[in-house]
A and B are shown apart, each in its own frame.
Chain A
């Protein structure tokens, strides 16, 4: 049997090689490499490995790809820059190390961005997630005027102070790949690095999905049913938190399943929003309902082992 040869990675030619380089890089620094969370989320931050692990005293370093869904950003595959489903590469370092900016810059060098010829800038961008009850300060990182990452020092999640503070790095993978490959249209990205007949593009993989999900998000999704699902998720979340609560001073026993329901409610809200059935005033009310769930989950999380409870 022929021995498998590992070809050198080419992040400038292949979307997946870009991911592999980042995986290798952050693994080499001791991060836990996780796989994507198996639920629909709006951003990598929602992954419990970030949202929950950012709370409590325990150190935590992890990296993972997270498919992210933004139903309202769908454009039926017709816009070169907008997708309702895209990938984020997420790194969380807790506590944020003093050289975190250099660690991040080295990851850019690893994917082939040469700081002698490219203009890398940290441009103020404070982050806030109303549904997570979270905020932080940081930047969007520009490379030659293109936003390639978001860089945030978490200050609060679920209304609780983050202590120690986590540093969160989020790479928009498609955008970064477009930059590396010099593509103007996301659907033209070379996905697998193959040439000629072996070349698989981003369009080959995702164009149909973009079209179908745009129809679903904007036209077909049954809003009454979604509203029911939202209420169900909300009720289930509360029920699970109640069931897992063993009383004052005791550890909480059922946070992660409850948090899943919170993620679910958040995604359903995003779908309802995309369908345009939520008015401006209702919008605020829905966001507050999701935030209440997150806060309840975070409160419970701090009473678990991973949350640092005794």
Chain B
């Protein structure tokens, strides 16, 4: 059993691509080994700035021999058939085939193909070049005069199997057993015999192979340095991963900046030194936190376009650097990670970084000071220059709609309409500030700071920040009613707008993050326990969104043309068009859009609930064609789930299903339905009378309970049906000989089905 060690040594690989590239390399090589029939033990991959490494244990010297039997045509078959068989089986003449006798079919040819196992090194020598050529980099390049593509120029390939070099060549790069150490501290080449030797020699040559180990070194070093200065590290996993991808030998250093910069909001400082300098911030040890909540960052769909798939290289959107438990005020220190054990102990490196951080913070402070000289409302005219979407107008037009929407939504969510409108008016103004221009991640947050600075109401300021929320499934939803009003206005405006212009998400494509907006609406409504019937709300926001629909259709002129076309098709003259026709047209368009949007939101609700472990069939059972109240759907599902967990619930479900089955069979047989009143005169048995009475009572009680939105009580009312239903099925023959009797009994079964419908459609419930 041998070990394979493979290293692809190149110029600097983007940090964000490394981890997945290591995985891809492992998958490509291991899949190739499997396809060649070669078993192996453990495989591990490592990735860093200049190398992708793979080690595979337990490889045999050769792949196993394989024998294959291929049946051919019968003896005496046409020449063509025999030729084809020989060609397919790789035989030279028919003499090489065996003749087998079959009692039924007679004699026919069989080819026995013995495939000798191949040396593992031969397999690898073919496999690795192929893997390199088909490597799925999201972006790759050529270099020099060569044809090969790699993420950056590929310099050497180390490929050692069981201590011996596996020889091959990829576009002039010959494989070997040598690699190099740290670019600056140990640039020389050296040979290796196996993975243990490789890892050890690299370590001596100042290269920490394993990215996870580099991360650990950085984190440990940063925490220790912070502790030594009686400070705390602002931890940031994405930054840690990136920093570890930028160095082969991490060295943690600490820098200082002028305390005067601490006047700038902490998030700005953290973002400035994180984004441009890849440095960590530090803060005073835990005490009441000045840092606000969680999860912020790039919210407007126009800015979040183009999520890449495959190997993406960018740092993910700013995660929240503030800790869950809060922390102290930011300190005027930062942690930098260098790639060098410097002779001067890092003095020059620290000084250099301090100078750059100073320049960055000077810029940030300049923006902070300049931005505050202009009131947010005075920036609104500039929003006219920002196109939100070609067909949906400018940010200024959006703000006008949001103002109206937020005001109209305010009473529904219990917010002060004036505050909601004011927050909506100012919520996009920070997009044209210098700070947000430099750090788009800070949109919303800066708006809040500038609003507070100009003396806006606290909930107005909070709403400016929070209206982008929730950004994702783990981001907090706004709780303040003013924030809720603006957040819902923002999301509904986006959703109705994109539905009106028919740019819905399809498959994996959702460039405007509309699914996220829908999930945002759902979570805001559910987590705040809001009564927010979608259709009723659509009715309320119609006056505002009417304009959006006009815009989306293409303006009044286009509408006029469309109506003219409708009129001319109906043989009417355009002169007969009155204002009411235009209104009707817009109204119809709007409701068509709202209808589709309702379906989408319900679909997203199902996905949301399913992700949280709710049974799919229970959701379907309580949703009807006009369900539009998200909170009610959830309450019903919960009550139903609970009820079905009880003995009564499970038995009633069985009874209702039995009734429905019988009905379905009989309805099919007679091609009619058994709806209509049950005739009490036709009851012959006590069980029939009891059931009819119980259905009447249960239906009335359940409806009254549903009316009061007390779904538990509705379920309890239904529970009373269980024993009369059971008794009915135990003692009454539905398919009686007397057709009148039979029809009446079937109608009674139908009544069971109908009565339960007010609670849930039991036929959709599984098991």
| Residues of A participating in the B interface, judged by any CB pair closer than 8 Å | 79-81, 95-98, 101, 115-124, 126, 136-139, 143-146, 153, 155, 163-165, 167, 179, 182, 184, 279-281
Contact = CB atoms under 8 A, between A and B. Distances in A.
Interface string B341-379: 011100111011101111100110010000000000000
Given A98-B153, A119-B338, A144 B143 contact: no
Contact of B11 (A118, A122, A155, A182): A122
Given A118-B342, A144-B352, A165-B142, 7 more contacts: A96-B144, A117-B347, A119-B339, A121-B339, A126-B313, A146-B355, A153-B141
B144 A143 contact: no
Nearest to B348: A117
Interface residues of B, number: 49
A117 B184 CA distance: 10
Nearest to A97: B144
Interface string B516-558: 0000000000000000000000000000000000000000000
A97 B146 CA distance: 11
B356 A145 contact: yes
Interface stretch (B203-211, B230-238, B385-393, B503-511): B385-393
B interface SS class: loop
8 contacts: A116-B343, A119-B342, A121-B246, A123-B12, A123-B278, A137-B151, A167-B143, A280-B387
Nearest to B350: A144
Contacts of B144: 95-98, 164-165
Given A119-B338, A165-B142, A143 B352 contact: yes
B139 A81 contact: no
Contacts of B390: 281
B348 A145 contact: no
B35 interface: no
Contacts of A122: 11-12, 49
Of residues A80, A118, A136, A137, which shows the largest number of chain B Cβ atoms within 10 Å of its Cβ?
A137
B14 interface: yes
B164 interface: no
Given A137-B141, A165-B142, A81 B338 contact: no
A144 B349 contact: yes
B342 A116 contact: yes
Contacts of B342: 116-119
A180 to B, nearest CB: 11
Contacts of B344: 117
A144 B15 CA distance: 18
B145 A164 contact: yes
Given A120-B184, A145-B277, A165-B142, A280 B386 contact: yes
B349 A118 contact: yes
B616 interface: no
B339 A98 contact: no
A145 B152 contact: no
Contacts of A121: 12, 246-247, 339
Interface in B45-64: 49
Contacts of A81: 359, 363
A124 B312 CA distance: 12
Instruction: Enumerate the 6 nearest inter-chain pairs by beta-carbon distance, A residue then B residue, closest first.
Output: A144-B352, A124-B14, A122-B12, A145-B353, A164-B145, A119-B338
A142 B600 CA distance: 48
Nearest to B137: A137
A202 to B, nearest CB: 16
A67 B264 CA distance: 35
B664 interface: no
B246 A123 contact: yes
Interface of B: 11-12, 14-16, 49, 139-145, 151-153, 155, 184, 246-247, 277-279, 313, 336, 338-340, 342-344, 347-349, 351-353, 355-359, 362-363, 366, 385-387, 390
A124 B311 CA distance: 14
Contacts of A281: 387, 390
Nearest to A78: B366
B143 A139 contact: no
A96 B352 contact: no
Contacts of A117: 342-344, 347-349
Given A97-B144, A123-B246, A179 B184 contact: no
B155 A144 contact: no
A27 B540 CA distance: 74
Contacts of A167: 143
Contacts of B352: 118-119, 143-146, 179
A138 B12 CA distance: 9
A122 to B, nearest CB: 4
Contacts of B358: 184
B357 A153 contact: no
Contacts of B349: 117-119, 144-145
A255 to B, nearest CB: 24
Of residues B12, B151, B343, B385, which shows the largest number of chain A Cβ atoms within 10 Å of its Cβ?
B12
A270 B639 CA distance: 64
Contact of B356 (A118, A146, A163, A164): A146
Given A119-B342, A144-B348, A124 B12 contact: yes
Contacts of B313: 124, 126
Nearest to A136: B141
B445 to A, nearest CB: 24
Contacts of A120: 184
A96 to B, nearest CB: 5
A262 B461 CA distance: 48
A281 B49 CA distance: 40
A280 B395 CA distance: 12
B342 to A, nearest CB: 5
B141 A155 contact: yes
A143 B351 CA distance: 11
Contacts of B343: 116-117
Contacts of A116: 184, 340, 342-343
Given A101-B11, A115-B184, A126-B139, A144 B385 contact: no
A279 B143 contact: no
A256 B295 CA distance: 53
A80 B362 contact: yes
Contacts of B139: 126, 137
Contacts of A123: 12, 15, 246, 278
Contacts of B153: 96, 98, 153
Contacts of B347: 117
A182 B356 CA distance: 11
Contacts of B152: 137-138, 153
Contacts of B355: 146, 182, 184
B356 A144 contact: yes
Given A116-B343, A124-B12, A145-B352, A184 B359 contact: yes
A144 B351 contact: yes
Contacts of A144: 338, 348-349, 351-353, 356
Given A121-B246, A145-B356, A153 B348 contact: no
A184 B352 CA distance: 11
Nearest to A82: B363
Nearest to A183: B355
A143 B342 CA distance: 13
Given A95-B144, A184-B358, A279 B348 contact: no
Contacts of B145: 95, 163-165
Nearest to B139: A137
A137 B139 CA distance: 8
B336 to A, nearest CB: 7
Contacts of B246: 121, 123
Nearest to B247: A121
A142 to B, nearest CB: 9
